[in-house]
Structure 1
């Protein structure tokens, strides 16, 4: 499963970034304009909130487990979640979490 988690993290990084970069190239490199686009209608706003709540939940889970395990490398899943998306951060965290115990 560990390699599946890694493959999903890579896919979750590349696939969304393809669309983000396309959007930035067409509309300029304005983050606030992208945030406005995310709230273009009720459906997209609902999706933004769904992903935001999932990202916050994942972050709390990561922090709680890292405090318990002292596996600091796992914290890298937090910026992956907020800079790329849950599609990268969650499988990346599962990849780190599934490392063999030493």
Structure 2
């Protein structure tokens, strides 16, 4: 499964970035315009909030498990989540976590 997590993290970094880069090419590097586009209608606003809540929950999980396991390198999944997206941060964290020799927390 470790390789699957890594593949999903890479895919989750590249695939969404293709769309973001296309948007920046068409509209310039306008972050406020991008955020405005994310809230263009109720469906896209709902998706933004869904991903925001998921990113916060993932961050709290990463912090809690990192503190318990003392696997500080796993914290890299937090900036990956907020700078790239949950589609990269979650599988990246699962990849890093699966490499731990500690096993599950009991």
Smaller-chain TM-score range?
over 0.9
Distance 1:23 1:2 in 2: 32
Alpha-carbon shift at residue 51 of structure 1 (Å): 0.2
2:92 matched residue in structure 1: 92
Are 1:46 and 2:46 matched, yes or no?
A: yes
Alpha-carbon shift at residue 100 of structure 1 (Å): 4.5
Deviations 1:25-77 (A, max 9, x none): 10010111100000000000000000000000000000000111110110010
Distance 1:33 1:96 in 2: 34
**Distance verdict in 2 for CA 1:70–1:100, change over 3 Å:** closer
Q: Which runs of 5 or more structure 2 residues have no equivalent in the other structure?
A: none
Taking structure 1 as the reference length, the TM-score comes to: 0.97
Taking structure 2 as the reference length, the TM-score comes to: 0.94
- Runs of 4+ in structure 1 off by over 6 angstroms are none
Distance 2:42 2:27 in 1: 21
After TM superposition, list the pairs within 5 Å mapping 1:1-102 onto structure 2: 1-101=1-101
SS in 2 for 1:29: coil
Q: Which runs of 5 or more structure 1 residues have no equivalent in the other structure?
A: none
